[in-house]
Structure 1
């Protein structure tokens, strides 16, 4: 949503991988890029 209006529709996979709206693409580009090794995994305590 942007300014109270829906700007993108689709499955999460489609929207995240191939955004069609410039606003959606800019939001996704603003996400921090983490190396795979930084992904949190459950611990075996």
Structure 2
């Protein structure tokens, strides 16, 4: 049962988009595409 808990915890952190997990890759690609398209100008 502890192994299942660890797997659920890792999957939950991945869905949050923490660095190093699967959800983070899609979020960082969105940011890399959005910043050149919409540059910040104060």
> TM-score normalised to the size of structure 2?
0.30
Which of 1 and 2 has higher RCO (CA within 8 Å, sep 6+)?
A: 1
Q: Which has the higher helix share?
A: 2
> TM-score normalised to the size of structure 1?
0.29
